[in-house]
Amino acid sequence: MIDFATVERPASPNTYLVCTPELCRAARADEPSPVFNASTDAVRAALKEIVPDIAFTESPQGVRGSYVAVTSIMRFRDDVDVLLAPTADGRTQVAIYSRSRVGYSDLGANRKRVQGILQKLRARLG
C-alpha cells in the first residue's frame, strides 16, 4: 500500500489520482476527491461490493484499501490504492490512486477504472 501523503507520480501517463492537496501533499491529482454523506464504514461496505478483492487496513489517515486490477484483454496487472478519510462532520472523503505496473501509456485504463469506481459509489451512496 502507498502512503497518499508522500506518493510521487511518475512522468509516464499510466496513472490516475483522485485526491486533495491536504491528503496528497507530494503529488498533483487529476481530479479532486469526492466527499460522501456517509460514514467510513458505509463507504467501506459499498466499496467492498464494487471491488470484492479489495483488502482493508486501518491507518492514522483513515481506512486504506488496495487490490490488483487485471486488464481484460492483455491481462496487465495494475495496482489500485484507496483511502477513506473521515471528515469532522461524519462524512467520508475518498482518494484513489490507480497505476500500471508496466508500459508508458495505459490508453486511459486507470482513469476509466477510477471514474467507474466513483460512479458506482455515487450510485450506492447518493
- Domains contained in the chain, CATH given: 15-121 (3.30.310)
pLDDT reported for residue 102: 87
Three cell numbers written together for 81 = 490504492
* Segments of the chain with pLDDT less than 50: none
Q: How many CA atoms lie within 13 A of 88 on its CB side?
A: 0
pLDDT reported for residue 105: 85
pLDDT reported for residue 41: 97
Three cell numbers written together for 35 = 466527499
Cα of first residue to Cα of last residue in the chain, in angstroms, is 28
Structure letter (DSSP) for residue 101: S
The Cα 83–Cα 89 span in angstroms is: 17
Per-residue pLDDT tens digits for 32-62? 999 999 999 999 999 999 999 999 999 989 9
Name residue 24's amino acid. C
pLDDT reported for residue 55: 98
Specify the pTM. Answer: 0.94
